[in-house]
Amino acid sequence: MSVTIDVEVFGRRLEKLYQDWKDDEERWNRSGAIVVGAGPASDELRYLKSVALQLWLFGYEVPETLMAFLPKQIHIVTSPKKASLLEKLKEECKKRTDAELILHVKPKGEDGKKEVAAVLDAIKAAATGKPVGILPKEQREGVLMKIWSESSQAESIETVDVATGLGHVLACKDEKEILNAKKASHLSAETMKRYVVPQLEEIIDKEKKVPHSKLSEKTEEVITNPTKINVKLKSENLDICYPPIFQSGGKYDLRPSAQCNDENIHYGTIVASLGARYSSYCTNVARTYFIDPTKEQEEAYDACLRAQQAAIGELKEGAVLSDVYAKVVSTLQESPKGDKLLGHLTKNVGFGMGIEFRESTLILNAKNAAKAEPGMIFNVSVGLQGLEHAKDGSTDQQSYAILVADTVLVKEGGAAPEVLTTSAVKSRKEISYQLDEEGDENEEPQAQNAPTVKDSKLSALAAKLRSDIGSEKSAEQLRKEKQEELAQRKNEETLRRLTESAGSKGSAKDKVKKELIAYRSVNDMPVGRDTDLQIMVDPRAEAVLLPIYGRSVPFHASTIKSITNTQDGDRTFLRIIFNIPGSTFGTSYTAATKHPNSIFLKEISFRSTDVKHANKVVQEMKALRRHVMQREKEADERASLVRQEKLVLAHGRIHRLQDCWIRPNFGGRGRKMPGTLEAHSNGFRYNAPKGESLDVMYRNIKHAFFQPAEKEMITLVHFHLHNAIMVGKKKTEDIQFYVEVMDTVETLDGGRRSMYDPDEIEEEQRERDRKNRTNAEFQQFVRRVQEVWEKGFPELELEFDIPFRELGFYGVPFKSNVFCVPTVNCLVELIEMPFLVITLSEIEVISLERVGFGVKNFDLTIIFKDFTKDVHRIDAVPMNNIDTIKEWLTSMDIKYYESKVNLVWKPILQTILDDPQKFIEEGGWEFLNMEASDTEDDEEEEEEDFVPSDDDEEEEEEEESEDESLVESDEDEEEYSEEVEDEDGMTWEELEEEAKKEDRRKALEQGYDSDDAKKRKRAPARGRGGRSGRR
């Protein structure tokens, strides 16, 4: 694989290094030059600041290379091959830092003494009078650094340590670095959630004997190959930060350098920690799991968890790192037995992370006076080691430890820090497994008789909590808390965005359309127009001539709104309606803006006895109007197109996708023919068999999707564009290339075939082979295109999204019921046209409408950040998907509200735009929060149910109570049934017999026929407890 360096990223980061060196001389120990060298490449897992600096600047490790940074020069000693790679950085280096890049090429087979001596001479010639900054701990790394060390000592050059300065530069990360850290954090958390926890549960449930080291090896394989847990990250960019650590059985070492032993996992306290790297950026997550914990252990874990959450909350911009440690100490002291727990606290509670796993200058301990800055990433790790506890009824003390760690990002502007590993749950109810019946003395009687996991062989996941109900409430409570936090943040963001955009409001100029002119002079009109007065259609001038008061008056086809023709006997009536100000066109009607004080003709009617001629004229007028409207529509669409760059054809090997169709197609009859999609230097080109082609530029791609055929009939790649392009005569922002993996037409005239029919089995096998082959071809094409994007266009951060089917739901975004699926960045539906692609970052809030008890479907309304844009509704979403959708929206930091009715959003958004300050003062988006008012309404309805009333009113209230009974809880039903049994009155059988008599009596009185009476008799009435009959 060829190596390319991102010149723009190199220049930006080199400029940042020089700026930091210039701004804070104390941090760099007043050094006048900086010398950093890297030794030979090694397969060992090592973290060196010199290598981290190379990865940060170049994106690759450059072994056996010496770099010297001077105020006006940068000297690099390296091999010829590496020098040719660095040659193209000279111009960017001069442009960004005004420093000249000088390459010293070390000939093959030589040790580089001459080149190092030249660098030493350049440092002395600079005559800064300041010491040279080095990394003392890495001074002997490699041959070049050894030569430098010996030569500098011989020349008596003063050296100082610049590790603090380099650490600070590497600590504050840009957007690309943060994205890499988020991907690594996602993998770490998902590995803990989807692999480690299920593995531990299976070990406990089936009483397997698995060594700690074996589980560590398997977990490492998952991190380096995440497709096993359905995480879509390229394995070549992945690595471990350290071998995963699993400890149990009383032997605990909470340091990341700890090693797993070969002893089997013990069913007591299990400490698990792991870290994944993505593009060299490190993350960490650690959790402690308890089997049959004692009350003392639960209290200790709760105290540790509160301390960690307090530390995370303290990590805001400007926070002193020693204050974070002090916050942990004070939180532990406030807990029960806090003084005792404090003696078991680790010496630090975390450290800064990045390319280096542990940044020594950013330790969260009691002495570090450094401050947290935006873009810094910390491992917040609170551990209690050397703890002891005794099982209930036992005097033997058992040793255990607690460790909770997460990767945390410091946000800008004093905002709350972002926990990047939040998907790995850590609440006590989620990490506690209760397997011992006898230990649960405080459980309710019915819980004591519940089978243990050991006896029933049930899943450990189902039995791990003391109370499933408590767990659900806990998850719901966490979701509500997150939504409350999002509500406050969303109101602030809305006000800030609307206030900033208020100044530019109305600055955009309306499109100026050309004036409609049918004839420039009277002489251009047809001859004989006034002598033969009749309605004439002039296609050349795109005009219709109407006889008015003895004169032919021309009207351009664009001024006509509609034409109707009504025949009455031997006469026909022709009615023509024109566009006027205030109609469909509104103020954008060109004639209305040009002549605001004129009087417009609204409609005109004609009567004719020549029915044949009238029908002909009507058809000609409609055809002319249709032609003009279509032409103007295409012209408007083309006028709004953004000019695209020219496609640069690739030379040599071109990645192709053969025999694929395009949607939308080029139009016309017989145009649905397969073509070829090619990936060139800066874009795609699709070649159709009839010579038509379409270019899609990489820079115009906003989102890219790859959806293999699973339960669908097609495999596809889909591109959602920044700016629309023309496909044939259609303007579109979505382009799709697909292949049908199986025939969509089935033979209906044949009889049913047996499942053992050899022809049927062979046909199914062929379809499976075709689907697998097509999916593999698309996957290979996508992988190669992804490599092109990463090498040539890393700044675009393009990546193929794969929809998550497990989060999908059915709904009606346009006209048909389709399956909508989320991706990492979007909500999409890519099978049926029109396509649905909604960018999650453009969503302001979500309104879940028509949500209520007994309702099967609800509507999902999407409100965009651009309030001038219409909201998008997905109707008829099944109610059983609402919890999944809520969880997904919360995980994506999208605020949602629930409503019982559909809202009219256009006037609401206009009101917000008119006065955003008033909108926020009145509570902002909280006007959508119907929970409080709904609670009051429910209480009033319940009170009304108990008010005595007449017979007719009792029947109405009975129907309301029947509807309400559908949503009663099981506990209410049990209580109600007990009350009914205790009441003195008729039994259910007597009530049912009474109801039948009443039905017959009413049928006779009201004159119902026997069929209606039978229908009424057979119709069961709904009551509490789900039994039939009436009360």
Checking if the pLDDT of 278 tops 90, the result is yes
Q: How many residues can be counted in the chain? A: 1031
pLDDT of residue 199: 92
Select from 185, 387, 362 the least CA-distant residue to 288: 387
pLDDT of residue 2: 60
How do beta strands 857-864 and 359-363 pair? unpaired
Checking if the pLDDT of 911 tops 80, the result is yes
Checking if the pLDDT of 711 tops 60, the result is yes
Q: Average the pLDDT over each of 166-175, 592-601, 1022-1031 and give the range with the smallest value.
A: 1022-1031
Predicted confidence band of residue 488 (pLDDT cuts 50, 70, 90): confident
Predicted confidence band of residue 931 (pLDDT cuts 50, 70, 90): low
Q: Average the pLDDT over each of 108-122, 444-458, 483-497, 946-960 and give the range with the smallest value.
A: 444-458
CB atoms within 10 A of CB 746: 6
pLDDT of residue 534: 81
Checking if the pLDDT of 987 tops 60, the result is yes
Predicted confidence band of residue 549 (pLDDT cuts 50, 70, 90): confident
Structure tokens at 69: 């940074």
Long-range residue pairs from 731-735, CB within 8 A, at least 24 positions apart, any chain: 731/637, 731/638, 731/640, 731/641, 732/664, 734/835, 734/837, 735/662, 735/663, 735/694, 735/696
d(C-alpha 392, C-alpha 294), whole Å: 7
Q: Average the pLDDT over each of 51-65, 290-304, 440-454 and give the range with the smallest value.
A: 440-454
For residues 646 and 659, the answer to whether their CB atoms sit within 8 Å is: no
Pick the most confident of 486-495, 570-579, 663-672, 866-875.
866-875
pLDDT of residue 590: 63
Checking if the pLDDT of 508 tops 50, the result is no
Mean pLDDT estimate for the chain: 81
Phi, psi of 859 (to 5 degrees): -110, 140
d(C-alpha 438, C-alpha 743), whole Å: 61
pLDDT of residue 981: 41
Checking if the pLDDT of 633 tops 80, the result is no
Phi, psi of 128 (to 5 degrees): -80, -20
Tokens 């054809």 appear where? 649
Q: Quick: pLDDT tens for 155-175.
A: 888 899 999 999 999 999 999
| Mean pLDDT of all residues in 626-651 | 78
Handedness of CA 74, 75, 79, 80 (dihedral sign): positive
Phi, psi of 222 (to 5 degrees): -65, -40
Q: Quick: pLDDT tens for 341-353.
A: 998 999 999 999 9
How large a percentage of the chain has pLDDT more than 90? Answer: 36
| Mean pLDDT of all residues in 768-796 | 88
d(C-alpha 158, C-alpha 138), whole Å: 17
Beta strands in 490-617 (DSSP E): 536-538, 543-548, 551-556, 560-568, 571-578, 603-608
pLDDT of residue 983: 42
| Mean pLDDT of all residues in 66-87 | 91
Checking if the pLDDT of 671 tops 70, the result is no
Quick check: helix, strand or coil at residue 267? coil
pLDDT of residue 100: 92
Structure tokens at 647: 């496609």
For residues 528 and 535, the answer to whether their CB atoms sit within 8 Å is: no
CB atoms within 10 A of CB 986: 12
Checking if the pLDDT of 532 tops 60, the result is yes
d(C-alpha 349, C-alpha 308), whole Å: 8
Select from 583, 626, 584, 581 the least CA-distant residue to 599: 581
d(C-alpha 671, C-alpha 49), whole Å: 60
d(C-alpha 516, C-alpha 533), whole Å: 24
How large a percentage of the chain has pLDDT more than 70? Answer: 80
pTM of the predicted model, to two decimals?
0.49
d(C-alpha 181, C-alpha 189), whole Å: 12
Checking if the pLDDT of 51 tops 60, the result is yes
| Mean pLDDT of all residues in 247-269 | 90
pLDDT of residue 308: 94
Select from 145, 13, 137 the least CA-distant residue to 68: 145
H or E element in which residue 490 lies: helix 468-502
Predicted confidence band of residue 304 (pLDDT cuts 50, 70, 90): very high
